[in-house]
Amino acid sequence: MHRRNLILAAAAAPLTALLAACSRIPDTVRIGVAQPLSGPLGALGKDMLAGVQMAVQDLNAANYSVQGKRVQLEVLAKDDKSDAATGKAVAQELVDAGVVAVIGHLNSGVSIETAPIYAKAGIAQLAISTNPRYTQLELATTLRLVANDDMQAKAMASYALGQIGAQRYALVDDATPYGKGLMAGVAALLKKHDKAPAVSASLDAKTTQFDELVARLVAARIDCVITTLADFQVEALVKAMGKAGLREATLLGGDTIKTSTLPKLDLPIRAVYATSPIIEPYEFNAGPAFEKRYSELAKQGIVYGAHYAHDAVYSITQGLTRAGSADPAAVLKAMKALDLHGPVTASLRYDAQGEQKFGTISVYAIEKGRWVSAMRSADW
């Protein structure tokens, strides 16, 4: 009997080896990236992609493995052109390519429209978009990397009322889901303090002609413009404001103006501020070292959220490790249970709805050619 058991064990050995070879961990795991890589917001999307590539390069160099098996990570990047229709086509391409998760998208409108495509495939979608509706779709796959616009609206209104202390406000959005939603939140909070905006305008997300708007600002004697226009639009707007004599006015923008563009200008108005859920790298302990390495590899400074995209990769890979599987549903489940100490941005934790549990909002001011942190809070 003993001899028979030995024979059976010997016969089973090749089967065990075969099962190990048929592991749920493939040799290569693809991580999808869907960002605007061209057009007006191309610099922001390329910045996100560079952060992902940097993390993947580091993990591959460190022989990243799951359950003892060496796994090669591969980035599959797609250009969504900041367009919902293109984004949906790109999302389907990534799903069909078998990615384990997607770091996308930048624009809230694109993230919202693509979310059902990823959800149908059970693939985690890690977005830096801030419109609250993204995580209100009741989809298990929607995860947010930063605080949402409910908190950003509170930060904008609180800072405008408490620190800027203007008397007559103008609210200007870019007619996108991000912009309209954020400005609606700000308007409601201003109204509570009897500071309803004297001017409200909803403009095209690409316009750079502001003569008509500035005439309205002058007529209403506006001393603070709160806006969700992009950096290149605000560049044109502040120049027009200065030319029209609104030199004592202040502009408070959202996170899409906190790029390297505006600090380079000789600003013709009193001050420019930006609120952002995307905290500057130097505000984190590991940030300066990351910025230095990023600059060496990308040949430029960080434009937007490269550090968040970088840490999103670690959220995915730690999910892979914990799940012991490259099945997207298993990875998603593991990611939701993780308290990740991101290499750069510290804590990453998704709540039951997919919101970022440790999100904060900073306010930045332009001083001496750079954005400088003026205030930061998780409780506005």
What is the predicted pLDDT for the residue at 363? 97
CA of residue 207 relative to chain centroid, distance: 23
118: number of CA atoms within 13 Å, CB side? 36
What is the predicted pLDDT for the residue at 214? 98
Q: Which numeric CATH code is attached to 28-147+282-349?
A: 3.40.50.2300
Task: Tell me the domain boundaries of the chain.
Answer: 28-147+282-349, 150-276+362-377
In this structure, which amino acid lies at residue 243?
K
Rg (CA), the chain: 24
Q: Which helix (H) or strand (E) holds 51?
A: helix 42-61
Question: pLDDT below 70 — which residues of the chain?
Answer: 1-23
The CATH fold assigned to 150-276+362-377 is Rossmann fold (3.40.50)
What is the predicted pLDDT for the residue at 108? 92
Segment 119-123 long-range contacts (CB within 8 Å, at least 24 positions apart): 120/95, 121/95, 121/328, 122/328, 122/329, 122/332, 123/32, 123/94, 123/95, 123/99, 123/328, 123/332
What is the predicted pLDDT for the residue at 260? 84
What is the predicted pLDDT for the residue at 15? 41
Question: What is the 8-class DSSP label of residue 223?
Answer: -
Q: How far apart are CA 217 and CA 213, in angstroms?
A: 6
Q: How far apart are CA 89 and CA 81, in angstroms?
A: 11
Q: How far apart are CA 264 and CA 342, in angstroms?
A: 31
CA of residue 190 relative to chain centroid, distance: 26
What is the predicted pLDDT for the residue at 177? 87
Question: The whole model's pTM is what?
Answer: 0.83
Angle at 19 between CA 17 and CA 20, to 5 degrees: 65
What is the predicted pLDDT for the residue at 23? 55
Q: What is the pLDDT of residues 339-373, one digit of tens each?
A: 988 899 988 899 999 999 989 999 999 999 999 99
Question: What is the 8-class DSSP label of residue 200?
Answer: E
